[in-house]
A and B are shown apart, each in its own frame.
Chain A
Amino acid sequence: MFENTEIPPESLPSVDDVSWQPIARRYLAELMAGHALTLGILLVAAFGGTALGIIDAPASLTRGIAVYAAIHLLAVAVWSPLSVRCRGYALRQHDLLYRVGVLRRKLIAVPFNRIQHVETSSGVTERLFGLATLVIYTAGGSGGDLRIRGLEAGRAHRLRDHILRRAGQADESG
């Protein structure tokens, strides 16, 4: 028998009442290491190259690069902890929630029965720290992809498997 009982809006589960899971603390270290690595290569190229006589850069340029690197690292060191603290995800029975952003905050809700496929990926520095990125694809074009960075590798894989299972169940019943 078909039923269609009315649902009072107040009784709906709210996206605000969830307990947010933080992403791995190590992601902060990975973030810093990534920036330090890029800047390090830049500095080595500038100073090493000049010292060895491969490139002929004026002293003001190399000094400028050094100052930039220092400011960049400082900014990352101040901003990253805030950024990492503001990120979090929450797994519910029927969807996945993700929040991101320090100043401009964003809350993203992806229902399991709209997920096309899920993948985990880890780059070189991510592998070094045992982290992985979870990528969730929906049919909304490139704007519909959700990337959750800085998850512990094991947890990312478990999340992926769980979401895949839930997405499959949603497809079968729907």
Chain B
Amino acid sequence: MSQADRDGWQQASPLAVLFYIGQILRGVARNLFQAVVPAAAVVISTGWTTRDRLYSLAGALLVVLVLVAVGRWLRFRFRIDEEGIRIRQGIFQREELDIGYGRIQGINTTQNPIYRLFGLVDLKLDTAGSATAEGHLPAISAGLGEALQRRIRRRREEKAQPEAGPETGDADEDETLLTLSSGDMVRIGLTGNGALILLAVLAPVADQLGERAGPWLERTFAPAAETLQNLSPAAAAAVFAAGLLAAAVILTGIAVLGAFLRHHRYTLTTDGEVLRSRGGLLTTHQHSMGLGKLQVLRVRQGPLLRLFGAFRLVARQAASHAVNARKSFLIPLARPALVERAPALFFGDEGKDLSLRVDGDAYHPISRRYVRSRTLLFGGVGAAAALFVFGGNGAWAAGAITAVLAPTIAWALTRRRHSRWGLALTADAAVVRRGFVGTTLQAFLLRKVQRVDIVQSPFQRRHGLVTLQFVLAAETITVPWIDEAVARPLCDWVLYRVESSRLAWL
């Protein structure tokens, strides 16, 4: 598939052109998303003559698109050598990337059905310090992708034990940590927030469609509408509820389908150094992450996951912000056994005393004054707003009821948050528990902390409390309203662990 020239520079498969077309289209769609719907409306509403002209314009754009994609493919070269991976790309502005093996945090490969037919993969490299995956090899042979992964792994092992021969490295087998069944796909679909996201995306589109489809709907369903109007209130409510239920079922169905597409036949393996996941129905996604690159491990359990007795794990690496979910490693459905093993698995010896329990009293609680302060703040503001709004209209009774209700609700909600918030510590690591409906644990090694902040408001100062913030390369972890007598020595301890650590944090 890929020919190498004298210097070892290789070219991607011609099928990469398809990828580039997709990439350009995606880029256009992302940047001009707002323009697409009005443009389509203009095209539909204009007469035939202008429409013909628009078609020729679209044709010309398509030709340019293909030419640019072919150009990008022709100008793309990569080389894999002892130091790392070099990439040369760009049509007019030449770009040369040099990615050393040490900087590579993870490798992601995807294989869609077309690629599978030709034995190709799409390979992305996660590197430290970049917000997006920077090294990208579209449409290279699957064999080459595997060879690259092996090479990176060998480099790591050589670095770990320079004297050991290569045969010891090959000896240790990959251990399978987790496989997910079809039933699990349903669970992932049910528990993920895919359905909600889908709703958020579809709602504006449906709204747009609704405006246009309104007259047509009226014509078609006019007889039905008449019968609806003649229904009793109870029957109308039943119809409404049935409609809502149907929408919920459809959305959940799509979410489950999404889980099948993304995670079908999911397997999680490790060789002790690198974590690998593999899954996907049509397009196979393979994701790997060096365990040493982990910054924060998130364990999440919502009410539905709790019902299934399962967890959702996200291992976050440096600079993995919300904008780029690929830089975190997702385990969509983890059994309690895996969560129990997780500290040793992700943090090695340093995590051996750590316990990732969602419940239990192993967590140092935050102060009860948190509840009082938040109830006063939110309840007070809510009550004042209610009195202002309703009182202005003369509806004093409604105002009084809301003014009583607002602090009560605020109290109940903050109490719930308070009961979830807590901190557990070992000599090397810490877990912060938080949550409202569900529970999230954030586990991290103390030596990977980048910065410690102690924040104290006047109210907190009066009661000897502080809010502690640990800034890590992946996210900032907050422990609010803890005892000053606990927080300050803890801050000293964390700084000591960071400053005396001789291990790399990245």
Interface residues of A (CB under 8 A from B): 7, 9, 12-16, 94-95, 101, 103-114, 138-141, 143-144, 146, 170, 173-174
Q: A113-B499, A138-B451 are in contact. List 15 more A-B contacts (CB 8 A).
A: A12-B496, A14-B489, A15-B491, A94-B499, A105-B455, A107-B453, A111-B499, A114-B449, A114-B450, A139-B319, A139-B505, A140-B473, A141-B321, A144-B473, A173-B502
B51 beta carbon closer than 8 Å to chain A: no
Q: A12-B493, A141-B319 are in contact. Are A103 and B458 (CB under 8 A)?
A: yes
Instruction: Provide the B338-349 mask, 1 if CB < 8 A to any CB of A, else 0.
Output: 000000000000
Q: In the complex, what distance in Å separates the CA atom of A124 from the CA atom of B321?
A: 34
- Closest-by-CB residue of A relative to B489 is A9
Q: Report whether A109 and B458 are in contact in the complex, using a CB–CB cutoff of 8 Å.
A: no
In the complex, 6 of the A-B residue pairs with CB atoms within 8 angstroms, ordered by the A residue number, are A9-B489, A12-B496, A114-B450, A139-B473, A146-B451, A174-B504
Q: Report whether A138 and B493 are in contact in the complex, using a CB–CB cutoff of 8 Å.
A: no
- Closest-by-CB residue of A relative to B499 is A94
Q: In the complex, what distance in Å separates the CA atom of A64 from the CA atom of B294?
A: 56
**Chain B residues closer than 8 Å to A141, beta-carbon distance:** 319, 321, 473
Q: A144-B471, A174-B501 are in contact. Are A107 and B496 (CB under 8 A)?
A: no
Q: Report whether A12 and B457 are in contact in the complex, using a CB–CB cutoff of 8 Å.
A: no
Q: Closest CB-CB distance, A110 to chain B, in whole Å?
A: 5
| Pick from A12, A103, A105, A113: contact of B492, CB under 8 Å | A12
B456 beta carbon closer than 8 Å to chain A: yes
**Chain A residues closer than 8 Å to B473, beta-carbon distance:** 139-141, 144
Q: Report whether B451 and A140 are in contact in the complex, using a CB–CB cutoff of 8 Å.
A: yes
Interface residues of B (CB under 8 A from A): 129, 318-319, 321, 449-458, 461, 471-473, 476, 488-489, 491-493, 495-496, 498-499, 501-506
| Pick from A105, A111, A144, A173: contact of B461, CB under 8 Å | A105
**Chain A residues closer than 8 Å to B453, beta-carbon distance:** 106-109
Q: A9-B493, A13-B492, A111-B499 are in contact. Are A104 and B455 (CB under 8 A)?
A: yes
| Pick from A13, A14, A94, A109: contact of B451, CB under 8 Å | A109
**Chain A residues closer than 8 Å to B496, beta-carbon distance:** 7, 12-13
**Chain A residues closer than 8 Å to B499, beta-carbon distance:** 94-95, 111-113, 170
Q: A106-B455, A109-B452, A139-B318 are in contact. Are A114 and B488 (CB under 8 A)?
A: no
**Chain A residues closer than 8 Å to B491, beta-carbon distance:** 15, 109
- Closest-by-CB residue of B relative to A174 is B502
| Pick from B454, B476, B498, B501: contact of A106, CB under 8 Å | B454
Q: Report whether A12 and B489 are in contact in the complex, using a CB–CB cutoff of 8 Å.
A: yes
**Chain B residues closer than 8 Å to A103, beta-carbon distance:** 457-458
Interface of A is mostly: mixed
| Pick from A14, A106, A110, A112: contact of B488, CB under 8 Å | A14
Q: In the complex, what distance in Å separates the CA atom of A110 from the CA atom of B473?
A: 13
Q: Report whether B488 and A16 are in contact in the complex, using a CB–CB cutoff of 8 Å.
A: yes
Q: Report whether A14 and B321 are in contact in the complex, using a CB–CB cutoff of 8 Å.
A: no
**Chain B residues closer than 8 Å to A12, beta-carbon distance:** 489, 492-493, 496
Q: In the complex, what distance in Å separates the CA atom of A170 from the CA atom of B495?
A: 14
Q: Report whether A140 and B471 are in contact in the complex, using a CB–CB cutoff of 8 Å.
A: yes
Q: In the complex, what distance in Å separates the CA atom of A174 from the CA atom of B498?
A: 11
Q: Report whether B450 and A138 are in contact in the complex, using a CB–CB cutoff of 8 Å.
A: yes
**Chain B residues closer than 8 Å to A143, beta-carbon distance:** 471, 476
- Closest-by-CB residue of A relative to B476 is A143
Q: Closest CB-CB distance, A97 to chain B, in whole Å?
A: 9
- Closest-by-CB residue of B relative to A102 is B458
Q: A104-B457, A138-B471, A174-B502 are in contact. Are A114 and B319 (CB under 8 A)?
A: no
Q: Closest CB-CB distance, A40 to chain B, in whole Å?
A: 34
**Chain A residues closer than 8 Å to B502, beta-carbon distance:** 173-174
**Chain A residues closer than 8 Å to B501, beta-carbon distance:** 113, 174
Q: In the complex, what distance in Å separates the CA atom of A103 from the CA atom of B472?
A: 26
**Chain A residues closer than 8 Å to B471, beta-carbon distance:** 138, 140, 143-144
**Chain B residues closer than 8 Å to A107, beta-carbon distance:** 453-455
Q: Closest CB-CB distance, B184 to chain A, in whole Å?
A: 34
Q: Report whether B450 and A14 are in contact in the complex, using a CB–CB cutoff of 8 Å.
A: no
Q: A114-B505, A140-B450 are in contact. Are A104 and B458 (CB under 8 A)?
A: yes
Q: In the complex, what distance in Å separates the CA atom of A33 from the CA atom of B99?
A: 48
Q: Closest CB-CB distance, B505 to chain A, in whole Å?
A: 7
Q: In the complex, what distance in Å separates the CA atom of A140 from the CA atom of B454?
A: 16
- Closest-by-CB residue of B relative to A110 is B451
- Closest-by-CB residue of B relative to A107 is B454
Q: In the complex, what distance in Å separates the CA atom of A113 from the CA atom of B493?
A: 16
Which among B452, B504, B505 has the greatest number of chain A C-beta atoms within 10 A?
B452
Q: In the complex, what distance in Å separates the CA atom of A170 from the CA atom of B499?
A: 9
- Closest-by-CB residue of A relative to B461 is A105
**Chain B residues closer than 8 Å to A112, beta-carbon distance:** 499
Q: Closest CB-CB distance, A156 to chain B, in whole Å?
A: 20
Q: In the complex, what distance in Å separates the CA atom of A111 from the CA atom of B495?
A: 7
Q: In the complex, what distance in Å separates the CA atom of A173 from the CA atom of B504?
A: 11
**Chain A residues closer than 8 Å to B450, beta-carbon distance:** 110-111, 114, 138-140, 144
- Closest-by-CB residue of B relative to A114 is B450
Q: In the complex, what distance in Å separates the CA atom of A108 from the CA atom of B504?
A: 22
Q: In the complex, what distance in Å separates the CA atom of A109 from the CA atom of B494?
A: 10
**Chain B residues closer than 8 Å to A105, beta-carbon distance:** 455-456, 461
Q: In the complex, what distance in Å separates the CA atom of A38 from the CA atom of B457?
A: 30
Q: In the complex, what distance in Å separates the CA atom of A170 from the CA atom of B450?
A: 14
**Chain B residues closer than 8 Å to A111, beta-carbon distance:** 450-451, 495, 498-499
- Closest-by-CB residue of B relative to A104 is B457
Q: Closest CB-CB distance, A7 to chain B, in whole Å?
A: 7
Q: In the complex, what distance in Å separates the CA atom of A16 from the CA atom of B452?
A: 14
**Chain B residues closer than 8 Å to A140, beta-carbon distance:** 450-451, 471-473, 476
Q: Report whether B503 and A114 are in contact in the complex, using a CB–CB cutoff of 8 Å.
A: no
**Chain A residues closer than 8 Å to B321, beta-carbon distance:** 141
Q: Report whether A108 and B498 are in contact in the complex, using a CB–CB cutoff of 8 Å.
A: no
**Chain B residues closer than 8 Å to A15, beta-carbon distance:** 454, 488, 491-492, 495
Q: In the complex, what distance in Å separates the CA atom of A174 from the CA atom of B506?
A: 12
- Nearest 10 A/B pairs, CB to CB: A140-B471, A94-B499, A139-B473, A107-B454, A138-B450, A140-B450, A12-B492, A111-B498, A109-B452, A114-B450
